[in-house]
Amino acid sequence: MSHISSRIAVLFVAAAGLLGTMARPADAQPGARVSTGNTGAPRSPAVGSARSVHAADSLRTVGLREALRLFRKNNLSLRRAQSEARALEGEARQARAYPNPTLQATHEPLWRGSERQSETYLNVSQQIEWSGRSAQIRAARERATAARARAAADSARLVLQVTEAYVEAATAETRLRRLRQVTDVFRQADSSMTKRRSEGDASGYAARRIRLERARYEQRLAAARLEVRNAREQLALLVLPGGTPSVAAKTLPSKRPPAISVQEALQAALQQRPELRRWQSAVEAQQAARRAARREAWPDPSVTAGYKRQSDGFEGAFLGVGIPLPFFDRNQGAAEAEAERLDAAQTQQTLARREIRNEVRQAHAAYTSARRQSQLLSDELLRGSGDLLRIAQTSYDEGEMSLVELLDAADAYRDARLRSVDLRVDLWTRYFSLLRAMGQPINLP
């Protein structure tokens, strides 16, 4: 039996040693002291200082406002949507341009036997657009307006993605700090237990149990560091140009965001959502396109004026008018097609309004629920938990608390702190989602 216990002790020592030699954490901040629990050979101070300075210089910490500003400046998807909107604005300007006149010069030599004559013409032709010009200009202008609204809707959707990435990065930083606090307790307890055991004041089981618990928290801490690194890289991918490896997010505010009534949310959404502006402009564009198609049943005339001179000395001006006769093509198919497109746009507008109302109600219900849970649970969870771990550690070091009580205190502290973090994340995420559903700009209150 003692042989088996000895082998178990060796395994525990090996596991703790392996975790203690892990690489430096990815979350090292400027000026922060990070304990790794490594009992091996000490590092050179110059090397450690150089690495700390390099990490401090390469890591950038941003707030939400700064992250969104960088996103609007650097995000490629947003830049593409804005370029598409500007392209339609160019088409709208082109639609207002009047057709260019045509200048034509003609010389006609004539002969009969030895007789020679000639006629020379110089004429200008101009097409007169009067049937559907104004409607075509209106349709192009409304299409450009709809494109700008679509770009604004895409921007709002991408802003919410950036905000969610920011919240995730800030939350990962907070979770890491909480886990580091508990892990430091077990590192100190492990050192204290080693000393007490060497003095014969602690059992082998207690030493192995502390080391096992430390190994468990070291593993959680390593996973939290990886989560921080991934969150930083994802945030940098959204807000910074290529080549920037990662960016850190500032901590979310501890205060709760303001309450919002469902009537206020619905009213704001119906007035400010870019999707509704997009489909309103699309409907007006299709109405103008239908009018233009109907008016094109009467073709545009063309006017020709010029000067003619003959070789026998006769000369003079002439004027002509050309009108295409709509005998075979009265543009009825195009008019019917535009009418159906108008019906589709109106149906989509109604559907979008219904979807937005439903989205606002769901987002408001989720935010109200998260705010209520935060009010009920957050204060209760944190009451007294700040001193719980410190008191437990001091009592255990002085022999006034058992090993089981220390483990329970550490688990209670970790659960309370991480649960509080989860409540705050859920609250802010749903608050930002409600702002997005209302069509409001996303920012911290």
Q: Which one-letter DSSP state was computed for residue 383?
A: T
Q: Which residues pair with 302 in a beta bridge?
A: 127, 322
Residue 103 in 3-state DSSP?
A: strand
Both structure tokens of 395: 């009592």
| H/E stretch holding 318 | strand 315-322
pLDDT value of residue 40? 38
Among residues 279, 271, 274, which one has the least CA distance to residue 143? 279
Low-confidence ranges of the chain (pLDDT < 50): 1-57
Q: How many CB atoms lie within 10 A of CB 259?
A: 9
Both structure tokens of 355: 């979807």
**Residues 305-328: tens digit of each pLDDT:** 999 888 888 888 989 998 888 888
pLDDT value of residue 408? 77
pLDDT value of residue 231? 94
Q: Which residues make Cβ contacts (< 8 Å) with residue 359, sequence separation at least 6?
A: 269, 437
Q: For tokens 């000026």, name the residue.
A: 31
Both structure tokens of 81: 């949507």
pLDDT value of residue 363? 96
Residue 304 in 3-state DSSP?
A: strand
pLDDT value of residue 102? 92
pLDDT value of residue 13? 37
Q: Which one-letter DSSP state was computed for residue 126?
A: E
Among residues 129, 128, 126, 130, which one has the least CA distance to residue 319? 126
Q: For tokens 């008016």, name the residue.
A: 295
pLDDT value of residue 277? 93
The half-sphere exposure of 419 on its side-chain side, counting CA atoms within 13 A, is 17
